[in-house]
Amino acid sequence: MKVSYILLNKTGKARKIPPGEAWQWTVYVEDASQLTQVLDRLKRDIRENRLALANLRFERHTLDTVSTDEVAFAYKGPIIYDRAIQPQRIINRHAEQA
């Protein structure tokens, strides 16, 4: 399964992403435990760095064994969906590196 998302630094206070920039991550996961780890890290990064989440997408492939029924993603903040967001940096990772 492929998980992609963009993190925006709208406040200018974040340490991870420069002020006003958007970075996109694409993470490839193979099972539910890896997906849970990726989503937990995503929530932690958003909270610690005061970032906004945008364009969160899960792309399943027929050969993947990841069952989204086993994973819960409880995020209280808004998720922005906007095609006009242009990331200044794109990061591709396998879940083992995440």
Collect all residues with Cβ–Cβ distance below 8 Å to 63 and sequence separation of at least 6: none
* 71, 36 contact by CB (below 8 A): yes
Query: Which residues lie across from 93 on neighbouring strands?
Result: 27
pTM, two decimal places: 0.83
pLDDT at 8: 94
DSSP symbol at 95: G
Per mean pLDDT, which range of 41-50, 55-64, 74-83 is the poorest?
55-64
Q: Could you tell me the pLDDT band of residue 75, with boundaries at 50, 70 and 90?
A: confident
Choose between 60 and 41: higher pLDDT: 41
DSSP symbol at 18: -
